[in-house]
A = this chain, B = another copy of it.
Amino acid sequence: MSDDAARHREKMEKRKAVQDAEVAGKTLEKGLLLVHTGPGKGKSTAALGLMLRALGRGWRVGMVQFIKGGWDTGERHAVAAFGDRVVWHTLGEGFTWETQDKARDIAACRHAWEVAEGLMADPTIRLLALDELNIALRYDYLALDAVLAALRARRPDLHVVVTGRNAKPALIEAADLVTEMGSVKHHFAAGVKAQEGIEF
């Protein structure tokens, strides 16, 4: 073995010892509250990836979309491959500038939240995605206290992922994992349109 290879091995042996000790120190298992926030792309998309992984473990999963309305999306077609192991509700009415009707937006969010509460109470669901819930909270279309109380009272084995910009500080406080998606560069700025298969 060359000196370089020997040095590399020695360094990596030490690093592995540190890693192993770290892994051994983590023993808790629990249903997580995950939050994907920030202005960058990938918040809802990473929630879809979580759903795919969970489906690969044989779990039943739920999705409630609070803002997105009746658009035709690739993800909706894709999850049909998993039959009734995916419960998918698209209950938004589009963005607020589409509906231009605050009362209708609020009613849609309240209905979506009722559906979400129903799924949280369904013991067959192991992962629930609440897509764009942060938007509904930001505009006070839903009462933050009631939402947080329900999330905190969830079954111990239920994982919930909440997406949307501008997550409320109290939600971040309650969460186990929070990722902030930052936008370093976006193709829309270069005049590229939203494309089927990528954006929807």
Contact = CB atoms under 8 A, between A and B. Distances in A.
A100 to B, nearest CB: 4
24 contacts: A5-B103, A15-B96, A19-B97, A26-B188, A27-B193, A29-B195, A32-B187, A37-B184, A38-B182, A41-B179, A42-B181, A47-B49, A48-B53, A49-B50, A52-B74, A53-B74, A53-B198, A55-B78, A56-B74, A56-B76, A172-B184, A180-B181, A180-B182, A180-B184
Interface of A: 4-5, 8-9, 12-13, 15-16, 19, 22-23, 25-30, 32, 35-38, 40-42, 44-57, 59, 73-79, 81-82, 95-103, 126-127, 159, 172, 175-188, 190-198, 200
B54 A74 contact: yes
Given A32-B192, A179-B40, A179-B42, A75 B100 contact: no
B54 A197 contact: yes
A45 B81 CA distance: 19
A185 B181 contact: no
Given A185-B177, A192-B30, A75 B102 contact: no
Given A76-B56, A97-B12, A197-B53, A179 B190 contact: no
A45 B56 contact: no
Contacts of A49: 42, 44-50, 52, 75
A159 B198 contact: yes
Given A28-B191, A29-B195, 8 more contacts: A9-B100, A16-B98, A19-B95, A25-B191, A49-B75, A52-B79, A53-B198, A178-B184
B40 A180 contact: yes
Given A49-B44, A50-B198, A73-B56, A26 B178 contact: no
Contacts of A186: 177
A125 B41 CA distance: 23
A41 B9 CA distance: 28
